[in-house]
């Protein structure tokens, strides 16, 4: 009888461990948000995302509380012209690292609610196709400072 009463706790702990383990397979590094003049309402976030699992992770959306909306974007060459396009999904292959960087993949942030300040921490939430969330804590930096140096 005692085991039956403890069983809900075991199930809860099991789910908690599985949830933590899956998010532990994604590592974010070098996360920055481009700091632009206060009159510019949009900006972009850059980071490296490493998938240490043996299963691909597919990102399907992004959000942040500092702006009206955030979207997954990429710079794409079309008809000899470079343009920015929203991405419906971005695959992070198993065992690989994908760089979100200027001129490539990035999180576009639209309609800032107030200007950012240098070194401000910005929380961005990425959502995978299986509805798991990945938190990105980025630092607001001046353009050109996005290329962070990894510390080992």
Can you read off the two tokens belonging to residue 103? 């001129």
Spatial CB neighbours of 121, under 8 Å, sequence gap ≥ 6: 137, 138, 139, 140
Domains, the chain, ordered by start:
26-141 (2.60.40.1890)
The answer to whether 59 touches 72, Cβ cutoff 8 Å, is yes
Tell me what the mean pLDDT of segment 47-71 comes to: 97
**Residues of the chain above pLDDT 90, percent:** 70
Give the alpha-carbon dihedral of 27, 141, 117, 40, to 10 degrees. Answer: -110
Confidence (pLDDT) at 125: 97
In this predicted structure, what is the pLDDT of residue 23?
A: 56
Tens of pLDDT along 97-129?
A: 999 999 999 999 999 999 999 999 999 999 999
For the chain, the distance separating the N- and C-terminal CA atoms, rounded to the nearest angstrom, is 51
**Per residue in 13-54, pLDDT tens?**
444 343 333 456 999 999 999 999 999 999 999 999 999 999
């Amino acid at each position: 009888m005692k085991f039956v009463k403890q069983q809900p706790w075991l199930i809860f702990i099991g789910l908690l461990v599985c949830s933590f383990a899956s998010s532990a397979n994604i590592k974010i590094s070098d996360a920055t948000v481009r700091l632009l003049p206060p009159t510019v309402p949009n900006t972009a976030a850059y980071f490296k995302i490493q998938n240490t699992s043996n299963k691909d992770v597919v990102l399907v959306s992004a959000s942040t509380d500092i702006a009206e909306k955030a979207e997954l974007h990429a710079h794409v060459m079309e008809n000899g012209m470079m343009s920015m396009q929203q991405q419906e999904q971005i695959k992070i292959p198993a065992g690989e690292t994908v760089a979100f960087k200027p001129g490539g993949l990035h999180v576009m942030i639209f309609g800032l609610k107030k200007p950012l300040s240098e070194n401000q921490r910005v929380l961005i939430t990425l959502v995978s196709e299986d509805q798991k969330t990945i938190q990105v804590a980025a630092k607001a930096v001046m353009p050109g400072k996005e290329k962070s140096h990894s510390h080992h």
